Amino acid sequence: MTSELIHAEGQVIAAVDSSIYAASIAEHAAWAASRLGARLSFLHCIERIATSMPMDLSGNLVLGSQEQLLTSMAELDEKQGKLAQQRGRLLLDQVVERARAQHSVHPHTLLRHGDLLESLLELEQQSRLLVLGKRGEHADFGKGHLGSKLERVIRAVHRPVLVASRAFRPIRRFMIAFDGSPTTRRCIDMVAASPLLKGLDCLLLTAGDAASDDALRWAEQQLASAGLAASTIKVDGAADTAIPEHVSKREVDLLVMGAYGHSRIRNLIVGSTTTQVLRDCLIPVLLLR
């Protein structure tokens, strides 16, 4: 049963860019790898820089000028590519050093060209946990939106995703958002089967009438069988507002909840709640399927 729930032989893969989340991603990933006893790899993707639309200047350029311009543009692209590689290697060196210094792990590095999601999907079969920041270096921080790449990754991959907060802090207490659905029941089973959260304080939260008493008792028993004594909290209100409120009120260090569903209908029900909680919570969120 355990092998069906978690991929015990997989590695932790942390995707980093030059956003302010890089240091936090490094520490959250190193923390997770050390708890799991897993290999850690930092991934940085160099994406193709969008160029402006080509213009037909043939009528305005003297003979040979167009060829010279094209040659100069090609040389510029080559220089930008080399600079992007140097920048990527420097970034990877920095997060590796931080992970080693703070958590005594010895990470590997992956520098790839192309789209982040495509790279993660290629690496998915050998991964156990993916770690990303809430926003990337090009996200709009002023509007409080999630990064578009994060949302794409969460919807596409089939591995647990740890969404790092802006700063790492020691994780001592975690909360599971539970509504009795098959998705959240699987979350309970996965938490019970994994060493990631063993020995930490556990809270089990349900909002409104989402989970029956029988479902809550089942969840408590599953966690207890794994050595996790969960304190159950039943609160009023909608999940997307109750969860962030009690995360703050009860000094929770990590939130565990179900990820987006794949169907359009399920995205409307679960996806909107997941997105809102990710936006509002200031702590790391572990998303499970």
Tell whether 134 and 246 lie within a shared domain.
no
CB count in 10 Å sphere of residue 227: 10
Q: What is the pLDDT of residue 89?
A: 95
Asked if residue 54 belongs to a domain, the reply is no
215 located within any domain: yes
Could you list the mean pLDDT of each consecutive 10-residue stretch along the chain, which spans 289 residues? Answer: 65 95 97 96 85 51 69 77 90 96 94 95 96 72 63 90 95 95 93 96 92 94 95 90 92 90 39 78 92
218 and 135, same domain (yes or no): no
Strand partners, 207: 235
Q: How many helices (H) and strands (E) does the chain have?
A: 10, 10
Tell me, yes or no, whether 257 lies in a domain: yes
Residue 216 CA: distances (Å) to CA of 10, 219, 231 = 31, 5, 11
Distance CA 252, CA 266 (A): 27
Structural domain including 261 reads 173-288
Last residue of a domain, one of 139, 164, 189: 164
Count of residues in the chain: 289
Say yes or no: 159 and 265 in one domain.
no
Q: Say if residue 17 is in the same domain as residue 111.
A: yes
Exposure string of 236-266, with b = 16+ CB inside 10 Å and e = fewer, is eeebbebbbebbeeeebbbbbbbbbbeeeee
Count how many domains the chain has.
2
Question: Distance (Å, rounded) from C-alpha 56 to C-alpha 41?
Answer: 45
Q: Which of 164, 194, 224 delimits the end of a domain? A: 164
Same domain, 274 and 218: yes
| Phi, psi dihedrals of residue 40, rounded to the nearest 5° | -120, 130
Q: Which helix (H) or strand (E) holds 207?
A: strand 201-207
Give the residue from 142, 164, 186 where a domain finishes.
Answer: 164
Q: Tell me the one-letter amino acid at 215.
A: A
CB within 8 Å of 199: residues ≥ 6 apart: 227
Closest among 162, 184, 178, 195 to 14, alpha carbons compared: 162
56 falls within a domain: no
Q: Is residue 284 part of a domain?
A: yes
Read off the CATH number of the domain in which 202 is found. 3.40.50.620
Is 70 part of any domain? no
Q: Which residues pair with 233 in a beta bridge?
A: 205
